[in-house]
Structure 1
Amino acid sequence: MAQGGLVDPFSSAHRRLADEAISRPASGWEQRYRRTVMTTDTVVTAIVVAAIGEFFGARDAANWHEKWGILAFGTELLVLGSLAVSRSWAPAVLGQGAEEFRRLGRSLFTATVVLALGGIALTSRNIKLWIFVAIPAIALVTMTARYVLRLSLHKRRNEGRCLRPVLAAGSPDTVRDLISRTRKFPHLGWRVDGVCTTDGIEGDELDGVPVVGRLEDVAKYVEHDGYRVVAVTPDPHWTPERLQRLAWNLEGSDAEMVVAPVLMEVAGPRLHVDAVLGIPLLRVSMPTFTGGRRAIKAVVDRLGSAILLLLFAPLMVCVGLLVVLDSRGGAFYRQRRVGKDGREFTILKFRTMVAGADRARAELADRNEGAGLLFKMRRDPRVTRVGTVLRRYSIDELPQLFNVLTGSMSLVGPRPPLPEESAEYGPDIRRRLLVKPGLTGLWQISGRSDLPWEEAVRLDLRYVEDWSLALDTVILWKTLRAVLYGQGAY
């Protein structure tokens, strides 16, 4: 029974919540999805290996079974073994961020190294064909197949299916934030079904999610209800001893324990867990603004912008003509922006407004819909007919590739601010200027103009702190979808 307003873990009301939970079906879909991924990897690898083996074997039919058959079979076993050893099929990473593809890439790289060493040991002259043809082909096909499977999974999640039931345990404010984020990004696969707080008063709700009990009883609820994730959010209750005891109590269950650190905006390659004097410590390395990776980024920026300019040259010529024919004025719009270390540069865009639009801005100040220091209007009367289409699909930003080519911008980075915006920056926000501004960034794939000012700043600062080549690759890939859908662009 409940005493003093506190919940008995096995009260009738709590049992009713357990009966209504969708945790058991979630375990079923997770296993089915994992088997689908494993089967797909096996089948596509076999097809690629067989196709390449058949092609090369046809040129040496007499020794097919002796040489090519053995190499084909060995390559398949090696790739599948590497996938298993690197835990590329772990349910926790399938459909979750870039980690799935990192593990897939790491396992294929391992297979390449082992295959090369095996070829050296056996003095095989044919091994180069498998290293430089078979493995890259397997990587291309398996990653494409994984991406297609992930799109299907994300579609089901956006429909409210294939979600992992989460028990959130922490302070009401931090739990509300977690609930809001899981609802905003359902494709990540979390759905908060229950909440534990310090008081744990039965019948209470946080943003529509029932409070099921107290923080000290979290493990009991997990064991009884079958939650798949226990999300521990900041609360004074969570001392190191209590967190350790919770981890012990969750051993043997199917639940994954996730703890939100105090350093909320530091993640990715900068976080390392080290054991020092027998104490587990979370080590945060300094962000890197120079060095080899930055040099690689600079080369990719220049080379990538040059290639994209060549590809889009016909489109840019057509757009320039349409802009000139649609309204009086030139095809391009030049504006001063602030770049790395506060240095100003001239940004280049296709003109989307009528001539003299900057002078009319003061008259529209009272109709500003932008957040923070930004000036934005959903139905800006200064925007031309052609400009509306260009803005919706971000075609007006293509000339910025010249800024990337000349080195004042990067393909990926924070949004380039206006001089009057940067003049209002405080010390924290000025960290956005530690790196080159980008043609696209986290702000571009997260809502663009629909983002609140604080969220846009948070995303830019997160990029500055946690930058990596892998993050740039993910952002560039997701930018294509954001542009095609035109969400948040006006």
Structure 2
Amino acid sequence: MRPAAPPFNDWRRRFQRRLIVSDFLVLVWVVFGTQIAWFGFGNAQLAIRDDSRISDVSYWFFSFVLVLLWLGALSWSDSRSARVLGAGSTEYLRVVDASLRLFGAIAIVAFLTKTDVARGFLLISLPVGVFVLLWTRWLWRQWLVMKRKSGTFSARVLLVGSEASVAQIARELVRMPSAGYHVVGACVPSGKVADVVAGTDIPVMGSVNAVERAMELTGADTVAVTSTDELPPDKVKQISWNLQAGRQHLVLAPSMVDIAGPRLHTRPVAGLPLIHVETPRFSKGQLFLKRSVDVTATAIGVVLLSPVFAFLAMSIRLSSQGPVLFRQVRIGRSGREFTMLKFRSMVTNAEELLGNLQRERAEQGSDSGNEVMFKMKNDPRVTPIGRIMRKYSLDELPQLFNVLGGSMSLVGPRPPLPSEVEQYATHVHRRFLVKPGITGLWQVSGRSTLSWEDTVRLDLSYVENWSLLGDVAILAKTARAAVAPGESAH
């Protein structure tokens, strides 16, 4: 007998209520705190010069109205929508957008009514309020992600579609629990109840005609249709009709992964919800912005880290024979070769020993799950000081000079060896649309433990969906990874 489904638990509303209370407390603290800091505890007044019949309004009343309007603007912008909570930058962008629109509207109204509002009061309230709102939202997100990893505060998802599409979407959702989709079952055309979805432990709850029963048994509140090729005509429409409004949800999950939201546009045509996927574009403005950030941040980094450079260079020179820097030919943007710099972390004949190590590992039948890149834990070619540098990725610091020279970027795909490029499938060459990076999605998502397939997928995802905010997020994750270090895999 199957266990009874858990009772309906509207985590969305509970979490949204917590955000409302949190936002309200933040805004009260910021707005009234700014007022007190600017005017003191006196009863300062707004002067309304357009109509002498209207008496001046107290700033205490104005601040109270401002808090309510700001709270409403955050709600009207859907900044607390369950669709944007827990992952991505949309939540933060909506907070900023709602705040800017509100203060812009206040400025326009004040101008039209000739109301004297202290500019300093507004100019301080806006940035401080936005900063504290974003900070508290970030704290709530960390809490939400922690809960989602334990299986709570997530949509309970039933996947419906072909076995191949269900397996693909299931693996992606299981890999990213922070997205808030906890897969509890699947309905596939074969409908063999004793089966599980390939590559997972997710049970098959029946055929595509047993969706309602499967939702009841699993307690699912969301149906995700992964493909419609093998579904009966109008089956998706029938599923949507049978869902309880406000309590159960329908999601269409096309088998396109790693495509960013800004590139997807839904356009209804003759009753058909067509999804338009824009091709990735790299304008001159985007390239100039990325290059400007690279040069500025790298120049500052080289100056600040110069004592570290000197210490590491001296340590390498005194601890082993050979040059301080290791130079290696890599493949960069547009498939052009360049010389990548690193602090030498291996013995001088490391390249000569590589062939023997590869043969030994092949004979033993052991590998790291990566068919193209050679990666090995406890590599015997690494020197003692090199092991410390690789643990904290310090051996990669000289690549900052590659960035200044223009052959690399701070963030980008991993720079491959020519021998690796020879083994690339055609689609993998899309990595060369951008400059390789010192760090990237691949490096902050598992580094040397990832399979070749996952490595390619993450690098191509970066190329397809580049944004400056994405680069900032990757750099932040890289800094955090340096605190909990692992071995460099460049």
TM-score band w.r.t. shorter chain: 0.7 to 0.9
Distance change (3 Å), C-alpha of 1:243 and 1:450: same
TM-score if structure 2 supplies the norm length?
0.87
Any conservation in 1 of the 2:158–2:187 contact (CA below 8 Å)?
A: yes
Please say which of residues 64-73 and 320-329 is displaced more in the overlay: 64-73
RMSD in angstroms over aligned alpha carbons? Answer: 2.7
User: Which residue in the other structure is 2:235 paired with?
Assistant: 242
User: Which residue in the other structure is 1:44 paired with?
Assistant: 26
Any conservation in 2 of the 1:416–1:438 contact (CA below 8 Å)?
A: yes
Distance change (3 Å), C-alpha of 1:128 and 1:401: farther
Q: How much has 1:144 moved relative to structure 2?
A: 1.3
Distance change (3 Å), C-alpha of 1:307 and 1:59: farther
Alignment of structure 1 residues 129-278 onto 2, 5 Å: 129-206=120-197, 207-222=200-215, 226-234=219-227, 236-238=229-231, 241-250=234-243, 252-278=245-271
User: Which residue in the other structure is 2:50 paired with?
Assistant: none
Distance change (3 Å), C-alpha of 1:133 and 1:399: farther
Q: How much has 1:66 moved relative to structure 2?
A: 4.7
Any conservation in 1 of the 2:44–2:59 contact (CA below 8 Å)?
A: no
Any conservation in 2 of the 1:412–1:438 contact (CA below 8 Å)?
A: yes
Q: SS in structure 2 opposite 1:467?
A: coil
- CA distance in 2 between counterparts of 1:486 and 1:189 reads 27
Q: How much has 1:456 moved relative to structure 2?
A: 0.7
- CA distance in 2 between counterparts of 1:349 and 1:128 reads 52
User: Which residue in the other structure is 2:66 paired with?
Assistant: 75
Q: How much has 1:213 moved relative to structure 2?
A: 2.2
Any conservation in 2 of the 1:226–1:255 contact (CA below 8 Å)?
A: no
* Cα displacement string for residues 381-411 of structure 1 (whole angstroms, at most 9, x for unaligned residues): 1112222222222222222222222322222
Distance change (3 Å), C-alpha of 1:489 and 1:408: closer
User: Which residue in the other structure is 1:398 paired with?
Assistant: 397
User: Which residue in the other structure is 1:335 paired with?
Assistant: 328
Q: How much has 1:454 moved relative to structure 2?
A: 1.2
Q: How much has 1:430 moved relative to structure 2?
A: 0.9
Alignment of structure 1 residues 100-111 onto 2, 5 Å: 100-111=91-102
Any conservation in 2 of the 1:119–1:127 contact (CA below 8 Å)?
A: no
Residue 42 of structure 1 aligns with an amino acid whose one-letter code is F
* Cα displacement string for residues 1-21 of structure 1 (whole angstroms, at most 9, x for unaligned residues): xxxxxxxxxxxx4xx34x1x3
> Percent identity of the aligned residues?
37
TM-score if structure 1 supplies the norm length?
0.87
Distance change (3 Å), C-alpha of 1:217 and 1:349: same
* Cα displacement string for residues 72-94 of structure 1 (whole angstroms, at most 9, x for unaligned residues): 33432332121100111122322
Please say which of residues 33-42 and 124-133 is displaced more in the overlay: 124-133
Q: SS in structure 2 opposite 1:428?
A: helix
* Cα displacement string for residues 176-231 of structure 1 (whole angstroms, at most 9, x for unaligned residues): 33333333333333322122111323333334333222212324543675412212
- CA distance in 1 between counterparts of 2:233 and 2:277 reads 19
Unaligned runs of 5+ in 2: 47-55, 362-366
Residue 423 of structure 2 aligns with an amino acid whose one-letter code is E
Unaligned runs of 5+ in 1: 1-12
Q: How much has 1:443 moved relative to structure 2?
A: 0.5
User: Which residue in the other structure is 1:420 paired with?
Assistant: 419
Residue 481 of structure 2 aligns with an amino acid whose one-letter code is A
* Cα displacement string for residues 139-172 of structure 1 (whole angstroms, at most 9, x for unaligned residues): 2111111112222222233334434321111223
Q: SS in structure 2 opposite 1:204?
A: coil
User: Which residue in the other structure is 2:8 paired with?
Assistant: 24
- CA distance in 1 between counterparts of 2:168 and 2:155 reads 18
User: Which residue in the other structure is 1:98 paired with?
Assistant: 89
User: Which residue in the other structure is 1:359 paired with?
Assistant: 352
- CA distance in 1 between counterparts of 2:88 and 2:143 reads 15
Q: Which one of 284, 295, 303 corresponds to residue 296 of structure 2? A: 303
Distance change (3 Å), C-alpha of 1:295 and 1:130: farther
Distance change (3 Å), C-alpha of 1:430 and 1:127: farther
- CA distance in 1 between counterparts of 2:123 and 2:403 reads 32
User: Which residue in the other structure is 1:312 paired with?
Assistant: 305
Residue 53 of structure 1 aligns with an amino acid whose one-letter code is Q
Q: Paired residues, what number?
A: 472
User: Which residue in the other structure is 2:53 paired with?
Assistant: none
- CA distance in 2 between counterparts of 1:183 and 1:278 reads 33
- CA distance in 2 between counterparts of 1:34 and 1:367 reads 56
Q: SS in structure 1 opposite 2:254?
A: coil
